[in-house]
Chains A and B, each alone.
Chain A
Amino acid sequence: MIAIMVMILCLNAMTKPVYAFKLVMLGEYAVGKTSLVKRYLYDSFSPEYYPTLNVNISEKLLRFSKCDVRLVIWDVAGQEGFEGVRRSYFKNADVAVLVYDVSRPETLKSLDDWYASLEDVAGYVPAVVAGNKVDLEERLVDREEGEGYAKIRGFDYVETSAKTNLNVKELFTRALKSAILNRLRAVKVSRWKP
């Protein structure tokens, strides 16, 4: 009996559709984009800073009852000098995670430029703003400011710490939710096309 159930479960897993979503991580250098991705994918954290070269692509397969979801994460370099190639990575993005460092106010201000470059290439893309490094004592951007920034632009907001693993899973879950909702909206619109 158990063997049959296992077989049914295996068959179900084999035939389940897989939906892919492209998530782009955006924000200034050293705000913790790569650390958030590493914490989410591997539950690890390194205090040393290794700048990302160009882009790191990784993915996580999330299993659900009716289908599976492949979350493809594009961790884009925050340094200057990559602008030209960087824009090509934004194509077909489903959702963006806009990361800033709560101890560097200028990193919150720069998010508008990051989102504008994304919108230029991919059109409207839902986004989640992440106020990262909330474990630091020298916090200079308070929660209200970050939340207000996100609210005005219609984005979701999460306070995170890759170091202490605060809200990291929550951040990616909310991003996935936004991506799914946006895709469902697109389906609804295309159905009513004459």
Chain B
Amino acid sequence: MTSARLKLVEKAIIDAVEKCIRMGWDAAYNVSIEGESGIPHKFLMVVWPSKGGKPDVVVDIIEEEAGVSEDDVLRFVVKCVDVDARYKILVASPHLSWRAKLLLMGHDTKIIELCRNNLSDISLEIFEAAKEVCGGEGSRVDNLVSVLEELRELT
């Protein structure tokens, strides 16, 4: 991947981190999490619904000029199992082999292939995934309505 393209991917991920933080979730870019084995694993992005605990969404990127193979994605799958992530997103550059796709589908992983998806899709996909697993809009609406009620009482 060219450094200019890598920067754009980075920008899209940081944008997703910002969006998640604005929703009140803990999200971070370039994170190392200790798995159940005690081994630390690096992810491009992680989202937690509240402080601490197991990650709800993990995002990583694999790039392989000739296409990302099943061997390449195995490391990602094992990392996700070890940290017990609920929702996994893998950004593949430029694309995945069909065997790799099969492997990821068996592990309930959202795939974003850079040859097919726009860079803006990355940010949106991650944000939508986080929304789905981090309590959704229902609880957010209730919480914010209760803040409004409390503010009304204060003023």
Interface residues of A in 160-188 (CB under 8 A from B): 170, 173-174, 176-177, 180-181, 183-184, 187
Is A8 part of the binding interface, using a Cβ–Cβ cutoff of 8 Å?
A: no
In the assembly, what is the distance between CA of A20 and CA of B19, in Å? Answer: 10
Q: Which of chain B's residues has its CB closest to A188's CB?
A: B141
Q: Which of B21, B141, B155 contacts A20 (CB 8 A)?
A: B21
Does A69 count as interface, using CB distance less than 8 angstroms? yes
Contact, CB under 8 Å: B143 / A67: yes
Interface size on A, residues (CB 8 A): 28
B144 touches A170 (CB 8 A): no
Q: In the complex, what distance in Å separates the CA atom of A176 from the CA atom of B26?
A: 21
**Number of residues of chain B lying within 8 A (CB) of chain A:** 27
A residues near B155, Cβ cutoff 8 Å:
170, 173-174
Shortest beta-carbon distance from B11 to chain A in Å: 12
Q: Which of B38-46, B80-88, B116-124, B145-153 contacts A (4 or more CB under 8 A)?
A: B145-153
Decide: A184 near B24, CB < 8 A? Known: A92-B18, A173-B155, A177-B151.
no
Interface contact B146-A66, CB-CB below 8 Å: yes
CB distance from B24 to the nearest CB of A (A): 4
Of the listed stretches A9-17, A39-47, A107-115, A131-139, chain B binds A9-17
For B18, B25, B52, B143, the residue with the greatest tally of chain A CB atoms inside 10 Å of its CB is B143
Interface string of B26-44 (1 = CB under 8 A from A): 1000000000000000000
A184 to B150, CA, bound (A): 16
Question: Given A14-B51, A184-B141, does the pair A64, B146 have CB atoms closer than 8 Å?
Answer: yes
The answer to whether B50 and A16 have CB atoms under 8 Å apart is: yes
Q: Is the CB of B21 within 8 A of A17?
A: no
Is B99 in the interface zone, CB < 8 Å from A?
no
**Please, how many angstroms separate the alpha-carbon atoms of A181 and B52 in the complex?**
29
B15, chain A: closest CB distance, angstroms: 9
Question: Contacts A14-B51, A67-B147, A69-B147 hold; do A20 and B22 have CB atoms under 8 A apart?
Answer: yes
B66 in the interface (beta carbon within 8 A): no
In the complex, which of the residues B18, B139, B147 contacts A180, with contact meaning CB atoms closer than 8 Å?
B147
A180 touches B148 (CB 8 A): yes
On whether the beta carbons of A15 and B147 are closer than 8 Å, the reply is no
Inter-chain contacts of B129 with A (CB < 8 A): none
User: Counting CB contacts under 8 A, is B49 at the interface?
Assistant: yes
- Chain A nearest CB, measured from B155 CB (Å): 6
Q: Which residues of A contact B49 (CB under 8 A)?
A: 17
B146 and A65 contacting across the interface, CB-CB below 8 Å: yes
Q: How far is the CA of A94 from the CA of B19 in the complex (A)?
A: 12
Nearest first, the 8 A-B pairs at minimum CB distance are A19-B24, A67-B143, A66-B146, A66-B143, A17-B24, A64-B147, A18-B24, A180-B144
Known: A20-B22, A183-B144. 8 other contacts (CB 8 A): A17-B50, A18-B24, A19-B144, A19-B147, A64-B147, A67-B24, A67-B144, A180-B151
Question: Which B residues lie at the A interface, using CB under 8 A?
Answer: 18, 21-26, 49-52, 135, 137, 139-148, 150-151, 154-155
Sample of 21 A–B contacts (CB below 8 Å):
A15-B51, A17-B49, A17-B50, A17-B135, A17-B139, A18-B24, A19-B143, A21-B22, A64-B147, A64-B150, A65-B146, A66-B146, A66-B147, A92-B18, A92-B22, A173-B154, A173-B155, A181-B148, A183-B144, A184-B145, A190-B137
